[in-house]
Structure 1
Amino acid sequence: MLTPEHLHGLRNLSLAARQAAEGFLSGAHASRRHGAGMEFSQYRPYQPGDDLRRLDWRLAARSDRYYLRESEVDTSLTVHLLLDASASMNHRDDNGLTKLEYARLLLAALAYIATQQGDAVGLTILHPAGLQHLPPRADTRQLPRLYHALETAEAAGRFPATETLAPLTARRQRALMVCVSDLYEDGNEINSLLSRLRATSGDVLLLHLMARNELQFSYQGAVTFKDLETGQTLQIDADQQRAAYQQQLQLWLRETAQAARRQGFDYHLVDASQPLDGGVREFLRKRNLTP
């Protein structure tokens, strides 16, 4: 698998997304359903209420029975990508990448895959100054729009207030919502947004992004931490605090995953030091495209 450092080093989001995604696409299959498409699949007996235009009259004349011609058509979805662009996403991992840089790569790869499958793809960047929103489209110019929005996205401030987020849940639209966030929040604002999206859109895939140095607490000796969103600082001895930190972290991760699943979200923890395969595989599974 290509490392996130390699993909970021390409300095070309379009190329990075394609390289990250094509290995998965080679093992994926198109999700299909029976319907009134162009490619013939099978016959099935007529049932009251069926469309008479799909009856095979020649077969009926020969067998004195009524059958409908069924075909297979590719299913397509509306995929709506959400990027948490609050300041905590500027946290830098030991590999040199920030969470935001990793999130760019991951969402670009998901956008590429969805577009290859014929899905309408949209993007909303969640920023305290306002939402940057690209409505879902399935045309050939959508990917460059998405890449440009991701490349120019900057993380700042705190997670948007409820009134800023209101347009996201103003109307019902069946879609697969894919949110990439580190779930750093003051209260319950991220969870509240996802709950509303679950009610208005139906499906929510939450990709919980954390840096390796957060997961392993790889710091040593005296360390000064600065909260990227509040500016507050904290001085600790990392070696003395490591065990307590790990205990609290595992408890929080366990409770976060359980709460997300209780509310009907598909939850997956993403280690930002690892290749993109975990997040991509969860998307493919949700998209019913896993081999």
Structure 2
Amino acid sequence: MLTPELLYALRNLPLAARQAAEGFLAGAHASRRHGAGMEFSQYRPYQPGDDLRRLDWRLAARSDRYYLRESEVDTSLVVNLVLDASASMNHRDDNGLTKLDYARLLLASLAYLAQKQGDAVGLTMLSPSGLQHYPARADTRQLPRLYHALEAAEATGTFPDTATLAPLTARRQRALTVCVSDLYEEAGEINHLLARLRATSGDVLLLHLVAGNELNFSHKGPLTFRDLETGQTIQLNADEQRAAYQQQLRQWLRDTAQAARQQGLDYHQLSTADPLDGALREFLKRRQLMS
């Protein structure tokens, strides 16, 4: 299984996305099912209550048996990928990857996987300067568009305000929205956006990204920490503060997960030290439930 640092070392986002995703395609939920569509698939015996218009009368005349023509109905979805591109995503883990680096790999892999499932996939990147939005499409040129956008993405400033985010939830559209964020906010702005996305799209998979060195607090000795979004600094001894920090972090993570699930979000915590398989599995699971 490829680690995120090995994927990143390829320096080729399309190749990394394909390598990460293809191992999950086998056994994944197909994007088509049998039903009363236009493309013929197979026959099945007539059962009481079936629509008589779907009977194959020619076959009945030849065989004296009644069969229905089964066809395939496209159950492709609209998948909207949302990237938190605020400055806190520049936090770097001990493996050399920033949260933004990991998010690029993850979203590119999800875009590849969604297109392989026959879904229309789009991308929105959130930054204080505005929304960079690529509407969901299923054409073959969409993946290169999204790869290019992700490769050029930069994490800057604070999470955008409500007015900037308004176009993202201005229209109701049944979709699977996948949001990747570290959930660092000042006054509940991310939480408010997720609630609006839940109301307008119906299904939201929240991938909460935490750096490995945030989880284990691997820092040592006296250090100065700087907030990547506000620039504020604090001096402390990492060895002395480790236990208290980890206790508070565990409580925050529990509270965050509970609050997200109470809002009806499908919440999944990720570490930048972990392979991408957990997130890809959650995506396929959520997609199967929607199809």
Provide the TM-score with structure 2 as the length reference: 0.92
Per-residue CA distance 1:204-260 (angstroms, 9 max, x = gap):
000000100000011111111100000000111111111111111111111111111
State the Cα distance separating 1:274 from its structure 2 match: 1.3
Partner of 2:263: 263
Unaligned runs of 5+ in 1: none
Partner of 2:192: 192
2:43, 2:68 within 8 Å by CA — same for their partners in 1?
no
Partner of 1:97: 97
Q: For 1:119-198, what aligned pairs fall within 5 Å after superposition?
A: 119-198=119-198
3-state SS, counterpart of residue 23 of structure 2: helix
Q: Which amino acid aligns with 1:233?
A: T
3-state SS, counterpart of residue 24 of structure 1: coil
CA RMSD, 1 decimal: 2.0
1:44, 1:70 within 8 Å by CA — same for their partners in 2?
no
Q: Which amino acid aligns with 1:133?
A: H
Structure 1 residue 42 corresponds to structure 2 residue 37: no
Per-residue CA distance 1:178-217 (angstroms, 9 max, x = gap):
0000000001111111111111111100000010000001
3-state SS, counterpart of residue 42 of structure 2: strand
Give distance in 2, aligned partners of 1:88 and 1:102: 13
1:43, 1:68 within 8 Å by CA — same for their partners in 2?
yes
Per-residue CA distance 1:141-195 (angstroms, 9 max, x = gap):
0000000000000000011111111111111111000000000000111111111
Partner of 1:217: 217
State the Cα distance separating 1:69 from its structure 2 match: 2.9
1:180, 1:209 within 8 Å by CA — same for their partners in 2?
yes
Partner of 1:250: 250
1:46, 1:66 within 8 Å by CA — same for their partners in 2?
no
Give distance in 2, aligned partners of 1:232 and 1:3: 33
State the Cα distance separating 1:6 from its structure 2 match: 1.1
Give distance in 2, aligned partners of 1:108 and 1:144: 10
- Kindly tell me: are residues 64 and 188 of structure 1, through their superposed partners in 2, closer, same or farther at Cα, counting changes over 3 Å? farther
Per-residue CA distance 1:242-289 (angstroms, 9 max, x = gap):
111111111111111111111111110001011111111111111229
State the Cα distance separating 1:26 from its structure 2 match: 2.8
Partner of 1:22: 22
Give distance in 1, aligned partners of 2:31 and 2:142: 22
Of residues 80-89 and 192-201 in structure 1, the stretch that sits farther from structure 2 once superposed is 192-201
2:89, 2:182 within 8 Å by CA — same for their partners in 1?
yes
State the Cα distance separating 1:44 from its structure 2 match: 4.6
Give distance in 2, aligned partners of 1:242 and 1:74: 52
Q: Which amino acid aligns with 2:192?
A: S
2:44, 2:67 within 8 Å by CA — same for their partners in 1?
no
Unaligned runs of 5+ in 2: none
- Kindly tell me: are residues 120 and 46 of structure 1, through their superposed partners in 2, closer, same or farther at Cα, counting changes over 3 Å? farther
Partner of 2:7: 7
Q: Which amino acid aligns with 2:92?
A: R
